[in-house]
Amino acid sequence: MHPWQCGRVKRSVLVRPRSSRAAVGGSHDGMLVVRVRQPATDGRANLGVVEAVAAALGVAKGDVRISAGASSRRKVIEVDGDEVVLAAAWERLVEGG
């Protein structure tokens, strides 16, 4: 990635811990829904969120971080990368794709 393409996308997610399968997609109150298998104890669900979002967006886990709501189901996620590409991918996920 070229330096002029770097940016950060910041969006809200709703986490559903202890789901039967990990999945990213759909929306609830305008937030992206992230389903993770891990329970919401000892930060395990947060790790699952980072892994699931990174995989869904095609970025490295190190490019995804939780910036707010670490102990809540409603979180703010920041993703480093090409802002245009990430925003388009995020919108596809919110629409259920």
Write down the pTM of the prediction: 0.88
What the chain holds in terms of domains, given with CATH numbers, is 3-94 (3.30.1200.10)
Confidence check: pLDDT of 66 > 60: yes
Cα(first)–Cα(last) distance of the chain, in Å? 25
Confidence check: pLDDT of 5 > 80: no
pLDDT of residue 50: 97
| Cα torsion through 67, 89, 21, 33, rounded to 10 | 50
pLDDT of residue 92: 93
pLDDT band per the 50, 70, 90 thresholds, residue 1 = very low
